[in-house]
Amino acid sequence: MIARITSLAAIGLVVAAAVPVSRPADIHGEWVKYAGAGGDSVLAYLAFPERPDPAPAVIVIHENRGMTDWIQTVADSLATAGFVAIAPDLLSRRGGTAAQDDVRRALSGLPPDSITTDLDATYTFLRTVQAVRADAVGVVGFCWGGSQSFRYATNNPALRAAVVCYGSGPNAADVTRIGAPVFGVYGQNDARINAGIPETEQAMAAAGKTYMKTIYPGAGHAFLRTREPAESAAAAWRDIVGFLEKELGR
């Protein structure tokens, strides 16, 4: 059963006072719960564009900060661009992001298989939403979620597009299972993550997979959230939307 939740207080999510609560007039956002594995439920934020026909859809994977208000704004922005967007709280099995004393530690302790299971549940749920074109689903992730986006592409060859925002690449042996074209978004000043790009490029090329990337000038890790520098953040967002439109349709 799918539970739809309209109250933020009902799920214990705290929204910073500086973040506007109202959404753009041309989208609708709501909280949903759907069945995961072993009887657990996954909590997710679901945003819809205002359009007369079913839309392509995007799974949004959060940073190592967990399910934050910023991730909601990402889903809202994707909806504004014409996609149905769903952002699951991947700490749902452990009471959700708001229940954690140390979100990063909680995320690092998640078994990879349980992450895949919950993303599979999200993908399956999304394909049942009547406003979604079931054959046009992609994924985008940021930081920890960027790495998970790349990893999930190795586990779900039915995805039509994958965007990896400053995340690391998967094991070379796993890239053979990727079915989607992958777009990597990186900051010039993010040497830790960027050090792995050549190995990822080599593995993807050897496997005959499509891997495109852009390294944005003056940008560091998490620059899409910090919006520093603003020009690079704006350019990266345009590129992400353009890539998703190309691969998923409009």
pLDDT per residue over 83-134, tens digit each? 999 999 999 988 999 999 999 999 999 999 999 999 999 999 999 999 999 9
The CATH code of the domain that includes 39 is 3.40.50.1820
Q: Determine the Cα angle at 29 with ends 12 and 136, to 5°.
A: 120
For the chain, what is the domain count? 1
Other beta carbons within 10 Å of 114: 16
Q: Which of 69, 174, 190, 239 is catalytic?
A: 190
102 is catalytic: no
> What's the helix, strand, coil split of the chain in %, to 5?
40, 25, 35
53 is catalytic: no
Q: Over 80: is that where the pLDDT of 249 sits?
A: yes
Q: Nearest CA to 142 among 217, 227, 82?
A: 227
Q: Which of 62, 118, 165, 221 is catalytic?
A: 221
Residue 97 gets which letter from DSSP? G
What b-and-e string marks burial along 89-109, b requiring 16 or more CB atoms within 10 Å of the CB?
bbbbbbebbeeeeebeebbee
Q: Which of 143, 165, 174, 239 is catalytic?
A: 143
190 is catalytic: yes
Pairing mode, strands 3-5 and 27-35: antiparallel
Domain membership of residue 236 as a residue range:
3-248
Q: Over 70: is that where the pLDDT of 198 sits?
A: yes
Q: What's the distance, Cα to Cα, between the start and end of the chain in Å? A: 29
pLDDT digits (tens, 9 = 90+) for 36-93: 766 779 999 999 999 999 999 999 999 999 999 999 999 999 999 999 999 999 999 8
